[in-house]
Amino acid sequence: GAVVSQHPSRVICKSGTSVKIECRSLDFQATTMFWYRQFPKKSLMLMATSNEGSKATYEQGVEKDKFLINHASLTLSTLTVTSAHPEDSSFYICSPNYWGLAGSYEQYFGPGTRLTVT
């Protein structure tokens, strides 16, 4: 399978500040990155999809100016939560697209970033 890393794993920030989350595909190149958010005991929610070198596509209800996504290379994507508020406290997970050796499409997740906004 594919190896995906995220940094930081956990971050606490004050309300009004910005936080950047990095997601790296360590042993493959990803043309597409999916960013998810998960609130406690709730389902995964897709926030946005980004393709390398182009602008991200945001799901309905997700503010593109608040959640800035950069996918500048095939191995790195970043999500910046700008002017964070306590309601942004959540578990953020990235998931790059991955094509297996047999041409199968698979999706693996990063370990996630737990954001707490105080």
Partner 1 sequence: QKEVEQNSGPLSVPEGAIASLNCTYSDRGSQSFFWYRQYSGKSPELIMFIYSNGDKEDGRFTAQLNKASQYVSLLIRDSQPSDSATYLCAVNRDDKIIFGKGTRLHILP
Assess contact for 18 and 84: CB atoms under 8 A. Answer: yes
Assess contact for 23 and 33: CB atoms under 8 A. Answer: yes
93 binds partner 1 (CB under 8 A): yes
How many residues lie near partner 1 (CB under 8 A)?
A: 20
In the beta sheet, which residues pair with residue 105? Answer: 99
Assess contact for 22 and 76: CB atoms under 8 A. Answer: yes
1 binds partner 1 (CB under 8 A): yes
107 binds partner 1 (CB under 8 A): yes
Report in angstroms how near the CB of residue 13 gets to partner 1 at its nearest.
19
Site string for partner 1, 45-84 (x = CB under 8 A): ----x-----------------------------------
Report in angstroms how near the CB of residue 3 gets to partner 1 at its nearest.
12
**Within 10 Å of residue 109's Cβ, how many Cβ atoms?**
16
